[in-house]
Amino acid sequence: MDRRTLIIAGAALMLGGMPAHAGQTWDMAVAYPPGNYHAKSAERFATEVAAATKGEVTIKVQAGGALGFKGPEMLAAVRDGLVPVGTMLLNQQVGVEPLLGIASLPYLVSSPSEMRTITDLARPAYDRIAQKHNQKILYMVPWPGQNIFAKTEVKAPEGFRSLKIRTVDRNGSDFFRELGASPAQMPWGEVVPALATGVINSVTTSSSSGVDGQFWDFTSFCHLVNWQSNFDMVTVNLAAWKKLTPDQQKAIVDVAKRLEPEFWKAAEQEDADKLKLLSDKGVKMVQSNDTLRAFMIAKATPKWDAFIAQVPAAKEIIEKYRAAVKK
């Protein structure tokens, strides 16, 4: 019996066989390495939950994909009770729920304040999606903006043609294909091996992931294009949630509400710290010139209406968002 089979069997026993209101111990699946700030936020959350529930609820953070689940599998893994709690990148779940890709549309969301606005407007829809998939959102945290790490510098639009670039989601793949690049969508665990073997020569990701992957060993340039925003949400399986007492549930919700603003501030500082570290390691920071930026935005904006055509539920959210941020 392999590790993943044991996890599934254990989850079934834990979610189905434990008496309601007993002390609970939950594994929390985190695909990112322990040093990543999302993993650190999860550890902080677990510590605060233990304190708030007087040790009645224990969350064991399993970082680095220790439980065997990749990022795109998290929505289903929590839904099916294979793991009680998980943190998932929203735009990796679009194969199941396309609306979760709304905030990752190219150049739609470009600043911390815009991230807050889109989250506030989309959160009711996110909550409905979570409930549909047998889970409850505990908190959400943004990623730093998505940049382009590459072996060579892209100075003009035609420079994209040389990029064999890793992307996270369909939005990214479609966008970079429009730019002239050759995108390859893959989960985080496959990125560094693909760079090392030459399957790809560039990656679009955050500064945090650039450090996680030690990209200074593989790339020389970080293009600060900030073309996409991404979010992680932490959810709990509803069967596990319902085993808690009302007081335990309230304590956990209160912890999540208190910590989420701190995690958002940490995300902003994370970007500055990680960009400095990358620079110190020899990665050259490149600001996109006006021609390059105009080219990227011109390719990006038609995708907003195309997304609405594909996902009609996004129409009201995007219209309210654009009115609010005047974009």
CATH number (domain holding residue 296): 3.40.190.10
> What pLDDT does residue 17 have?
47
Sole residue written with tokens 């409905």:
128
Judgement on whether residues 81 and 134 belong to the same structural domain of the protein: yes
> What pLDDT does residue 1 have?
46
Judgement on whether residues 222 and 234 belong to the same structural domain of the protein: no
> What pLDDT does residue 268 have?
87
Read off the pTM: 0.86
Judgement on whether residues 223 and 240 belong to the same structural domain of the protein: no
Whole-angstrom CA distances from 237 to 65, 124, 167, 299 are 18, 18, 28, 39
> What pLDDT does residue 125 have?
98
| One-letter amino acid of 219 | T
Q: For Cα atoms 214, 219, 223, give the angle at the middle one, nearest 5 degrees.
A: 105
Judgement on whether residues 63 and 212 belong to the same structural domain of the protein: no
Judgement on whether residues 112 and 220 belong to the same structural domain of the protein: no
Judgement on whether residues 113 and 21 belong to the same structural domain of the protein: yes
21: helix, strand or coil: coil
Helices (H), 243-287: 246-280
Measured CA to CA, the distance from residue 246 to residue 86 in angstroms comes to 21
Measured CA to CA, the distance from residue 322 to residue 319 in angstroms comes to 5
pLDDT digits (tens, 9 = 90+) for 264-300: 999 989 999 999 999 999 999 999 899 999 999 999 9
- Counted domains in the chain: 2
Measure the N-to-C terminal CA separation of the chain; round to a whole number of Å. Answer: 54
> What pLDDT does residue 18 have?
46
Domain that holds residue 111: 3-143+230-275
Judgement on whether residues 65 and 82 belong to the same structural domain of the protein: yes
Judgement on whether residues 35 and 134 belong to the same structural domain of the protein: yes
Q: Output the domain CATH number for residue 263.
A: 3.40.190.170
Contact status, residue 169 vs residue 185, Cβ threshold 8 Å = yes
Q: Which of 241, 258, 275 is the last residue of a domain?
A: 275
Judgement on whether residues 125 and 236 belong to the same structural domain of the protein: yes
Measured CA to CA, the distance from residue 184 to residue 174 in angstroms comes to 10
Judgement on whether residues 171 and 202 belong to the same structural domain of the protein: yes
Judgement on whether residues 216 and 266 belong to the same structural domain of the protein: no
Q: Which residues of the chain have pLDDT under 70?
A: 1-22
Closest CA to 34 of 5, 11, 66: 66
Judgement on whether residues 22 and 118 belong to the same structural domain of the protein: yes
